[in-house]
Amino acid sequence: MNTFECVVSKLEVREFMRKEVESEIKRRILESARQTGSGLNLQHWRFVLVEDKKNLSQLALDSTSGGWIAGADFAIIILTNPTLRFHLIDAGRVAQSMQLTAWNEGVVSGLFTGIKEGNLRNDFRIPNDLTPSIILGFGYPLKPLTGKKKNRLPLSQLVYREQYGTN
């Protein structure tokens, strides 16, 4: 699978098998985050790896749109520095790096951003100077992915030539 194929075939998955992801793959996923570029190369992101089933269930309780994380094999909480105007760009980039690296290994993932921040901060001891921006859940897919198609706008509705509005 080349990079384009990896991007095009990657889907968000929220149902996972009870099969552990090998620690080498987890390490590689985290390494891909580390290698990602950040604004001013500040590398302000920090990652909390959550593997304990009890803590995965707690993550689900601390979310408003990610209850499915309870069934993931493991999760990664992406923390970024909210004083940087580009911190969510940096969060998105490491999220995509990790999701694509996982998919390249046959590991699927989903993300959520609906976070009960106060609860999460308490439960996972997040310091005040970092914001939990994105939470990713990973695992092997429960069902074959063949049935799911992406719903995307065509390029003709998305791309203009030279100036906005000109096709």
Ligand X SMILES: Cc1cc2nc3c(=O)[nH]c(=O)nc-3n(C[C@H](O)[C@H](O)[C@H](O)COP(=O)(O)O)c2cc1C
- Which residues in the 47-106 window bind ligand X by CB under 6 A? 65-66
1-30 footprint of ligand X as x/- string (CB under 6 A) = ----------xx-x----------------
From the centroid of its chain, how far is CA 28?
Answer: 14
How many residues bind to ligand X according to rule CB under 6 A? 11
112 is a site residue for ligand X (CB under 6 A): yes
113 is a site residue for ligand X (CB under 6 A): yes
SS (H, E, C) 114-165: CECHHHHHHHHCCCCCCEEEEEEEEECECCCHHHCCCCCCCHHHHCCCCCCC
To the nearest 10°, report the CA torsion of 64, 151, 90, 59: 20
Using the rule CB under 6 A, which residue among 18, 85, 125, 150 binds ligand X? Answer: 150
State in angstroms the smallest separation of the CB of 156 from ligand X. Answer: 19
154 is a site residue for ligand X (CB under 6 A): no
Q: Which is nearer to ligand X, 144 or 165 (CB)?
A: 144
Burial 32-44 (b: 16+ CB within 10 A, else e): bbeebebeeeeeb
**Contacts with ligand X, residue ranges (CB under 6 A):** 11-12, 14, 65-66, 110-114, 150
